[in-house]
Amino acid sequence: MEPGRKYSLGEAVELAVSTAKAKFDETADVAIKLGVNPKYADQMVRGSVVLPHGLGKTVRVLVFAKGDKEREALDAGADCAGSDDLVEKIKGGWMEFDRVVATPDMMGAVGKLGKILGPRGLMPNPKVGTVTFDVKGAVEELKAGKVEFRVEKAGIVHSPVGKVSFGANKLSENILALLESILKLKPASSKGTYLKAISLSTTMGPGVSIDPMDVRSILKAV
């Protein structure tokens, strides 16, 4: 790997996969530097995307819902569903879940968990489809590998994109799906270069720089 070099997407993924030498199946992550200032509300970039090949791990989904919607959630594959009983269980320290969905009528109760769920990035949000009456669709998407992303204070989006065992082709397709979604969310108030830098790394591996121009050309050709 050459210091300071920006690789094409294909080269970068092949390099990241070939340098992953850990005895476990490493996770691949991307860090994307955007030309936005998140301290301004109109430059906040936040959304979600279902990665075509998922994340390669089991996602435990909890749903806050009542009655028919609770049954719908469980039938769709939710690991746990309920209402006030779950609120009290989480207040007591139970955290055996990875993602949270809530029906709109449950948000009053779920709001009481803001100090617990918020810092962990688990608070349901309508902007990413986790506050909805379509609990079946939400659960199925999360189980299939839907990821949420949000630009941080420094203007960087961090997101997992799968496992090294996926191989270069599947990882490339997951990365392109994520970047396409982020490009579509470019704020109108963002001036200059929007997609400034992209870095791909595995759990134990070095960061590999991806040329943003190569990504743009691939997405325009699709």
Sketch the domain layout of the chain as residue ranges: 9-55+146-221, 63-143
At residue 29 the predicted structure's pLDDT band, cuts being 50, 70 and 90, is: very high
CATH number belonging to domain 9-55+146-221: 3.30.190.20
Q: What is the mean pLDDT of residues 82-88?
A: 94
Give the list of residues 6+ apart from residue 88 with CB closer than 8 angstroms, or none: none
pLDDT of residue 169: 95
pLDDT tens profile 136-193? 999 999 998 888 899 998 999 999 999 999 999 999 999 999 999 999 999 998 888 9
The yes-or-no verdict on residue 123 having pLDDT over 90 is yes
| Element at 146 (helix H, strand E) | strand 146-150
Torsion angle, alpha carbons of 174, 177, 180, 182, to 10: -80
pTM for this predicted structure: 0.81
- CATH 2.30.40.10 matches 63-143: no
